[in-house]
């Protein structure tokens, strides 16, 4: 009986943790990224060549995560909300 209770508690904890994560992240084509988002990224990192994109929903807000590189070889990841707010710019190693 003790083992069943332990398994039930562990299962409920795992279910609870997975239900807290409402993020939904999908790879998308660069052509699916709205033009205004691409423009903001290009204005923020002039000369960037975009390589990949993801669309994610965090707490009900659509976030685009774009990856690309500059002519000097530096690779960047940039997160931007669908309203055009730059959330994060990260220089990749």
Please write the tens of the pLDDT for every residue from 21-42: 445 789 999 999 999 999 999 9
Average pLDDT, the chain: 83
Task: Enumerate the domain spans of the chain.
Answer: 23-91
CB 84 within 8 A of CB 36: yes
Query: How many whole angstroms separate alpha carbon 37 and alpha carbon 39?
Result: 5
Query: pLDDT higher for 79 or 8?
Result: 79
pLDDT score of 72 more than 90: yes
Helix, strand or coil, per DSSP, at residue 28: strand
Tokens at residue 54, please? 């993801």
Comparing CA positions, the residue from 51, 41, 54 lying closest to residue 89 is 41
Q: What is the pTM of this model?
A: 0.72
The fold of the 23-91 domain, in CATH, is Nuclear Transport Factor 2; Chain: A, (3.10.450)
Instruction: Flag whether pLDDT at 47 surpasses 80.
Output: yes
């Amino acid at each position: 009986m003790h083992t069943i209770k332990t398994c039930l508690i562990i299962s409920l904890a795992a279910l609870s943790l997975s239900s807290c994560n409402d993020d939904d992240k999908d790879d998308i084509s660069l052509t699916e990224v709205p033009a205004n988002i691409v423009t903001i990224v290009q204005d923020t990192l002039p000369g960037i060549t975009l390589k990949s994109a993801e669309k994610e929903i965090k707490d009900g807000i659509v976030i685009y995560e774009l990856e690309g590189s500059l002519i000097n070889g530096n690779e960047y990841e940039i997160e931007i909300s669908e309203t055009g707010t730059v959330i994060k710019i990260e220089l990749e190693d």
